[in-house]
Structure formats: structure tokens, C-alpha cells
Amino acid sequence: MRAVVAGAGKVGVFIAKQLVEAGVECVVLEQNERIIDELAPHNPKVSWHLGDCCELTTLENAGVASADVMVAATGDDEDNLVTSLLAKQEFAVPRVIARVNHPDNEWLFNETWGVDVSVSTPHLLTSLVQEAVSVGTFVRLLQLDKGQARLVEVTLADDCPAAGISLADLEIPRNATIVAVLREHHLVVPRGDTVLQPFDEVLALVTEDSEDELRRVLLAP
């Protein structure tokens, strides 16, 4: 697997380190030569490429055409959008992941700009806070497949209608899948005979059309 990361800031460098430790071939693009000179000796397994990630020639010289994943991780949303668009349209990178720096810009990070997955730290933190304090409320944790699929979480209340019923007996929507159940800090791998209990944390993959239907199945008649 080969990944190209745009931006050698703290986020980009951390991503690159994690990827190479996982055995992924990783190239980092950075337009500041001084930054590369400082970081390269400490990260010998990372390939470094000098240039502007918004320039077509830079991406071409860095071998983006052969990348499996492009990560636009600069501190500038405009740069991340342009990089994502070029990676997808000019080089047909299969998966483009973009960092959202300003939460008000998140609506821009979609397939129109070549983004498959966008990551907004403020929105992610908000979701995690909601997940920690909300019972009986669907919380969206992550968007996948260009927003067509979502990872959602709900903590079942003590009077939840789904409690005491096995997954096989619940009318789970066709386009929704229960992927995990967290119970008293332990992971329960969901199977047909898994019986839900009050205060279970249920994680599910849903489509936009199936989310409301699954909410009715798990939470209320």
C-alpha cells in the first residue's frame, strides 16, 4: 500500500509515522525545505518531497498516480480542497481523505472536491462528548463513502423497547448493520442471538435512508 500525505505539520507527520510503522509506503509533501531538513533525519522511513501540494507537477513528481490513498492534512482548508480535487480528478486516487481545519468549511469537503472522507476535529470531539453524555440519542461519529454511509452510536435507555430482544428478532433495516455492542466496558461481537440490554452502547453502520428506521427500531415504537 502506498500513501501520500500533504503537509508536514504535526498532524501530517504523525499520520506518516503511524503509516510507516504499519508497513505502509508513505510520501510526505512539504513546500518548506527547512522543515524537511529538520524532520527527515528523525523519520528515515518516510519519503520526503519538496513542493507545493496544490501544483499539478508536484503531485506528479511525487508519484501520486500510484498512490492508494491521498491525505490532505495541511493547516489550510483551501489547500486541502485543491489537493483533494487534483488527486481525484487528475490522478484517480482511489481514496482521498481531507482534514477540515475550520468547522464552518466542512460542507465543502465532499465528492465535488474529490473528498471521500473528511475529518473535522471540532465536530468529532462534539460527537464524542455527545456519545459520552447522551442516553437514548443517536450520535453520528463518522461519515463514510462520501457521506452515503455513517457510523452512529446510541446508548440504550433503561426503558428502551429493544432491550431484552435478540438482534435476530429485531426488524433491523436492510441497509443498516449493527457492528458492535459495548457492555460494561466490554466488547460484545453482535450475532443473531445477541440480546440487547439497557445501557448497551450500540454502534451501527447506516445509510441516510435507514438511519431513521433503525432509530425507531432501537429507541421507540
Per-residue pLDDT tens, the chain, 221 aa: give them. 999 999 999 999 999 999 999 999 999 999 999 999 999 999 999 999 999 999 999 999 999 999 999 999 999 999 999 999 999 999 999 999 999 998 889 889 988 999 998 887 766 656 555 545 455 566 777 777 656 788 888 888 888 888 889 999 998 988 999 999 998 878 999 999 999 998 888 899 999 888 888 888 888 65
pLDDT of residue 129: 56
CA distances from residue 152 to 20, 137, 149 in whole angstroms, order as listed: 30, 10, 10
CA angle 34, 50, 32 (to 5 degrees): 30
How much is the pLDDT for 126?
A: 60
> Using CA atoms, how far apart are residues 47 and 25, in angstroms rounded to an integer?
8
| H helical segments located in 102-162 | 121-133
Every domain of the chain with CATH number 3.30.70.1450 lies at: 134-219
The three cell numbers locating residue 120: 473535522
Class at the top of the CATH hierarchy for domain 2-119: alpha beta
In this predicted structure, what is the pLDDT of residue 169? 92
| Residue spans in the chain of domains classed CATH 3.40.50.720 | 2-119
pLDDT for position 158: 80
**pLDDT for residue 54:** 96
Distances (CA, A) of 163 to 10, 127, 191, 195, 219: 44, 24, 15, 7, 9
Q: What is the pLDDT of residue 212?
A: 87
Q: What is the pTM of this model?
A: 0.63
Classify domain 134-219 by CATH architecture: 2-Layer Sandwich (3.30)
